[in-house]
Structure 1
């Protein structure tokens, strides 16, 4: 049996605030295999985004182990993390985080340029499926919220990452647009055999994932 793509073992993360210590993750065990999709739910401040940031190397564990493709990431330094993010990781943010000086096509191509790749048939598939193929020359600031989120998804998946981290990707959309975006997100990730870890407050969005976990008091519990 192959190693999980991502594995957290006895993962603990705490923050010091003055004289107080806040433990947001408390000896969490979590794994995500290739092609698998999981939703992470929980109250605001429960540590959901922190867990994603740890997997992406934006934050680091206080105690415990993070394995990526079976390799302990504790010894990784920034060049290694950058290489992992550029080649294997896609991220979709709630605030879109698009590059406003660039048009739609240039935004989508950005992760390709980091890998010295060019626009290809997969990109054609993405923009057609997301129905943004007629918007490629538009400035992203002129797009609606729903259109910007579709561009953000195309950008996150353009380089065919093995792992997609999505942090409240429908948080700025109305319910109908949000569910439509989730449908497309899961379909396209499946097309690219991409694993998904999704942070969401929406139980309807969580239903799109194969597994659902709830984070409370630093503990992760699988929901059924």
Structure 2
């Protein structure tokens, strides 16, 4: 288990709505190593985003154990979670969650400032591939949904995180832009040995990942296992 960056061990998650209890995860086991990419698919409401929220520490488990870097997170306090998030984690949120008082450059540089890292050639590469260089001085509130998504992707990748959680990262992008984003995510994996967990409704996006899991009735079903990412069209 030493090389596993993320381990969910016998994990279950329930949501309570009045007198009703809704089981989202039912004794799930799931592991991702450094340099590994995994796609999570399933119908809307099946719990895909919940898995990402659990791994990021935004949602507590009902039962079971979450290990990050082989460390049991069950006793982590807020400070430990904050340290893990800004140092190790990158997140592409489905709703972007950009910092609206800041412009595009400042949003992208925010995780760099937390880690005392400078803007470097990798950041320049990100803004060029994502075609947002001309937007760097604009406030994010003035951008379209697709532009905001590109900024959110650049921000999540800027500090070269060890673990990247991506929730529908191509949802607001056209086909060609989506292909470039998926290639960029794989570039991060190859260059930085990053682990990537991708939530998507797209089989084509899932085909870029090394492994593919489908969430059905609270169970993760492994759909395929490929040694190398397949560069499909979106």
Shared topology, TM-score over 0.5?
Answer: yes
Contact (CA 8 Å) 2:10, 2:28: kept in 1 or not? yes
Shift, 1:149, TM fit: 1.9
Q: Superposed, which structure 2 residues align to 1:101-140 within 5 Å? A: 101-140=101-140
Could you say what secondary structure the match of 1:14 adopts?
strand
Q: Superposed, which structure 2 residues align to 1:75-224 within 5 Å? A: 75-224=75-224
Contact (CA 8 Å) 1:5, 1:34: kept in 2 or not? yes
Contact (CA 8 Å) 1:5, 1:32: kept in 2 or not? yes
Shift, 1:52, TM fit: 0.5
Shift, 1:58, TM fit: 0.2
Contact (CA 8 Å) 1:94, 1:170: kept in 2 or not? no
Runs of 4+ in 1 over 4 A off after TM superposition: none
Per-residue deviation, residues 79-137 of structure 1 (Å, max 9, x unmatched): 00000000000000122222222111101111112223332233223223333233322
Moved more, 170-179 or 23-32: 170-179
Listed as ranges, the gaps of 5+ residues in structure 1 are none
Q: How many residues align structurally?
A: 224
Per-residue deviation, residues 36-93 of structure 1 (Å, max 9, x unmatched): 1000000111111111100000001111111111110001010000000000000001
TM-score normalised per structure 1: 0.93
Moved more, 149-158 or 178-187: 178-187
Contact (CA 8 Å) 1:146, 1:173: kept in 2 or not? yes
Shift, 1:152, TM fit: 1.1
TM-score normalised per structure 2: 0.89
Which residue in 1 is equivalent to 2:232? none
1:32 partnered with 2:32:
yes
Could you say what secondary structure the match of 1:29 adopts?
strand
Moved more, 62-71 or 109-118: 109-118
Contact (CA 8 Å) 2:50, 2:59: kept in 1 or not? yes
Could you say what secondary structure the match of 2:153 adopts?
helix
Per-residue deviation, residues 167-217 of structure 1 (Å, max 9, x unmatched): 111222344433332232322343332111011111111111111000000
Listed as ranges, the gaps of 5+ residues in structure 2 are 225-234
